[in-house]
Chain A
Amino acid sequence: MIMMWFCLCPLFQVLVIGDLGVGKTSIIKRYVHQTYSTNYRATIGVDFALKVLNWDSETVRLQLWDIAGQERFGNMTRVYYREAMGAFIVFDVTRPTTFEAITKWKEDLDSKLMLTNRESIATVLLANKCDQGREVLTNNGVKMDQFCKDNGFVGWFKTSAKENTNISEAANFLVKHIMATENDFLKSVVPDTISPKLNDSQPGTCSACYKS
């Protein structure tokens, strides 16, 4: 724990948002602790988790913000979007309303959060509970791809926290995109700056390190 304090490895804040009861907490628990339970309590406000990844012989830390799904909390939880570098938007394939809410969540995210290069943060769409066998919504892959393109998602995955389907794949996909935007960002910013701080952090680390 104390070592984490001084770790200069990249740290990314990742939001996990979506309607109430779509399985955000379950996905995080599966991803971080490799466990699944039907006994998770409702999230009030925001819960936290930390995932440490080995990425190209480098340690990457993901700070997962598990945000309460009730729309009412929107005013309160939107404050937490501020410093996010990536996001998962989750819906439940068995409940069509949760899919309809996705555009609302995405607009919300984009309105509160823009990278300095005016692009939105890397966002991956997760179609959770795909083990339930009622995947009417996601059967049409082409349509889903088009939906992602139209709404600014970098990709989508059919996931199941229960059966551990595609969870780490989706996370790796998101990290890849975050790293890519990070690098683009550094490349575009570094040439016209003389700040020594940025030059110092350039090799091997990212600008997000000091956020810990």
Chain B
Amino acid sequence: MTYKISLRSHQQPSYSSVPPLVFSLSLFLSLSLSLSLSLSLSVSLSICRSLSLSLAVSFFLSLPVSATLGLSFSLSLSLCLSLSLSLCLSVCLSVWFLWRFRFLMYLQEYEARAGKAGSGGTSPTQPQHGRRKNLDFEPLSTTALILEDRPSNLPAKPVEEAQRHRQEYDEMVAEAKKRELKEAQRKRKEMKERFKQEDSIANAMVVWNHDILPNWDNMRNTRRVRELWWQGLPPNVRGKVWSLAIGNELNITPELYDIFLSRAKERWRSFSETGSEADDGASLADRESSLDLIKLDISRTFPPLFIFQKGGPYHDLLHSVLGAYTCYRPDVGYVQGMSFIAAVLILNLDEADAFIAFANLLNKPCQLAFFRVDHDLMLKYFAAFEVFFEENLPRLFNHFQNSNLTPDLYLIDWIFTLYSKSLPLDVACRVWDVFCRDGEEFLFRTGLGILRLYEDVLLQMDFIHSAQFLTRLPEDIDSDRLFACIAAMPMLNGNKKWSQVSSSKHKKTGK
């Protein structure tokens, strides 16, 4: 017995190797042709002969009677001949039919033989039956376990063994069926979960659209809204809520954006005309190189999404927003990391709104400190972070201190990109949601949440592995588990809050 895994739709045995058929066909044709040819030849010959005979007789006797006699004779002869011709034809036809019939028989025989070769030594009808039976208890999938009999050239196996194999086979099929049932159940459960999730998103969307957004100023700080906010914003109100929460302290209007955009475009034009390395003083060269940098960085922003790359749908948009910003804030210019922030905003907001949110977001004290690369101020933020790190995760804090892993090594990447580079995009967006609610404190709290989530793993790692791990977080990070860890990080040092700790650090620098 052999088991064969094969596709359910069995291929018909092929008839490609039928030279004997062709041979017999051609033989039959040639035979019939030669027969009919010889017949017609003999007929015409006999007619000629009979005619000449009758003519000779009538001429010899010179009698009309004899002539008519001869004529009638010849006529009868030709009649007889034509009769024999038709007979011959009918014989031919019947022979042809017979041949054809034989041909069919041959085909059938061949088919049967081919079937036998494919399925072992039993009679040609039986495997057909067996296979049909197999199909009946085949599992749902396209691949199935097919019970095949032992090839005919091998000795038959004992009955016991055959029985055992059949039993094994049945068990295997039953197992496969069970597995598929389980898989189907799992899928159903997954779908149910997804529907539930979609329902809750739809419900939240209704609440946000009908209750919260129309009464934004009154409701934004209520407990209910804050709780709903923590659970993540529904994707289609996300942009709106971000915009409202970030605000527009800078009073930027879409018209202003257009002005800066046209200025940026003008600069690109002159930039491409004069060539990239025009040296009209240091400041201009610096600014131009900043345009150069934007071009280089855009293609390196969320590359797996293929929407910001050259030819992608948002390539020009990202270019415009970043270019306009360098014209709006030449004192800040373009700094790496900005492309990630602008990209996330573009994914959730219209062009002008994305620019307004971008400019206002970068104007927040923490972002300004980082994007101006104010090293002293950055160190103060890191120091404040360390206070809460030590408070909440003393074991990991000590471990990191022992292996010389300072927080700047991972916080720089996290804060500059607001986690959009190191976390999966959907998780990052959820971090942004609460960052818009709670401000800079939440960025550092998220950092602690990540360290809490992976504390056990990190405690086993040395410097280089921890550093590698933290700058490239696992891609399967679960947002619910992360947020549970973040929630478990109260930003309290003694009774001091984040703002108090960080401002005390800042004051120390002032002196």
Write out the residue numbers on chain B whose beta carbons fall within 8 Å of the beta carbon of A39.
303-304
- On whether the beta carbons of B375 and A46 are closer than 8 Å, the reply is no
Q: Is the CB of B335 within 8 A of A72?
A: yes
Do A44 and B412 touch across chains, with their CB atoms under 8 A apart?
yes
Contact between B471 and A48, CB atoms less than 8 A apart: yes
**Which residues from chain B contact A194 at a C-beta distance below 8 Å?**
none
> Closest Cβ of chain A: how far from B222's Cβ, in Å?
37
Contact A46 B412 (CB under 8 A): yes
Quick one: which of B300, B461, B467 contacts A42, CB cutoff 8 A? B300
Knowing A70-B336, A75-B375, say if A41 contacts B421 (CB, 8 Å): yes
Q: Are B460 and A1 in contact (CB under 8 A)?
A: yes
Say which size band chain A's interface belongs to. 20 to 34
A49 at the interface (CB under 8 A from B): yes
User: Size class of B's contact patch?
Assistant: 35 or more
**A212 touching B462 by the CB < 8 A rule?**
yes
Q: Is the CB of B471 within 8 A of A42?
A: no
Would A21 and B373 count as touching, CB distance under 8 A? Answer: no
B296 contact from A2, A4, A21, A38, Cβ within 8 A: A21
Which partner residue on chain B sits nearest A21 by CB separation?
Answer: B296
Question: Nearest chain-A residue to B285 (Cβ)?
Answer: A97
Among the interface residues A1, A44, A70, which one has the most CB atoms of the partner chain B within 10 A?
A44
Whether, in the assembled complex, B409 has its beta carbon less than 8 Å from a beta carbon of chain A, the answer is: yes
The answer to whether A44 and B277 touch across the interface, beta carbons within 8 angstroms, is: no
Chain B residues within an 8 Å CB radius of A47? 468, 471-472
CA distance A40 to B297 in the complex (A): 10
A29-57 residues with Cβ-Cβ distance < 8 A to B are 38-50
Q: Is the CB of B465 within 8 A of A44?
A: no
Contact with A along B423-439 (1 / 0, CB 8 A): 00000000000000000
Task: Tell me, rounded to whole Å, the shortest Cβ–Cβ distance linking B98 to chain A.
Answer: 72
Shortest Cβ distance from B297 into A: residue:
A42
Whether a CB of chain A sits under 8 angstroms from the CB of B397 is no
The residue on A at minimum CB distance from B412 is A45
A70 touches B471 (CB 8 A): no
Chain A residues in the interface with B (C-beta under 8 A) = 1-2, 4-5, 20-21, 38-50, 63, 68, 70, 72-73, 75-76, 79, 96-97, 211-212
Which B residues contact A (CB, under 8 angstroms)? Answer: 276-277, 289, 293, 296-297, 300-304, 333, 335-337, 339, 373, 375, 378, 403-404, 408-409, 412-413, 416-417, 421, 460-465, 467-468, 471-472
